[in-house]
Amino acid sequence: MEAISKAGVTIAPADPRTAEARALVAELDAFLSGLYEMDDNHLTPVEELAEAGAVFLLARDGGRPLGCGAIRPTADYAEVKRMYVRPEARGRRVGLAILRALEAEARALGVPFLRLETGPRQVAAVALYEREGFVRRGAFGDYPSCGGSLFMEKRL
């Protein structure tokens, strides 16, 4: 993928093991731990986001990291992972840009669906996913069915 630039924000592939990527993921973990019980947090380690086939994208403005997101493809779908936008960048459509870039990556890989797990207390995230055509579904993969998770998918 080539870097995408819109309104001063650049989205490009990055190594999730870098200090700036780890800092974003740590902020996301802290945010989620304040919303959900430990058993309801399904946190993918950055090392898994660096595995072959995974795509990790970083959004920057003037070099400053604003947000991130990833997909992990399987034989049947790609899962959206680690979507996060720093609070000071929210409202600038950074999350939308990351999500659309991840969708483009998934389409290029030829997977038929994007799937994700999120939480019901992340109202803005759920609204974004629904606006972008994701629909609610049952648990998938190794996720347990629990009240702390919402499962969604989008046909590509």
| Annotation: CATH topology of 4-114 | Aminopeptidase (3.40.630)
Tokens of 64: 């400053």
* pTM for the whole structure: 0.88
pLDDT score for 94: 95
Looking at every residue in the chain, the average pLDDT score rounds to 86
Query: Is a pLDDT exceeding 90 seen at residue 104?
Result: yes
CA 42 to chain centre: 13
pLDDT score for 119: 80
| Average pLDDT, integer, range 32-38 | 62
- CA-wise closest residue to 84 among 76, 94, 71: 94
Tens of pLDDT, residues 42-72: 566 677 778 889 999 999 998 899 999 999 9
**Bridge-partner residues for 19, per DSSP?**
none
For residue 129, give Cα distances in angstroms to 15, 43, 62, 107, 124: 25, 19, 27, 17, 9
Query: Is a pLDDT exceeding 60 seen at residue 84?
Result: yes
CB 45 within 8 A of CB 81: no
| Average pLDDT, integer, range 113-129 | 89
Around Cβ 133, how many Cβ atoms within 10 Å? 13
pLDDT score for 3: 62
| Average pLDDT, integer, range 62-86 | 93
pLDDT score for 50: 84
| Average pLDDT, integer, range 12-30 | 91
Domain boundary assignment for the chain: 4-114
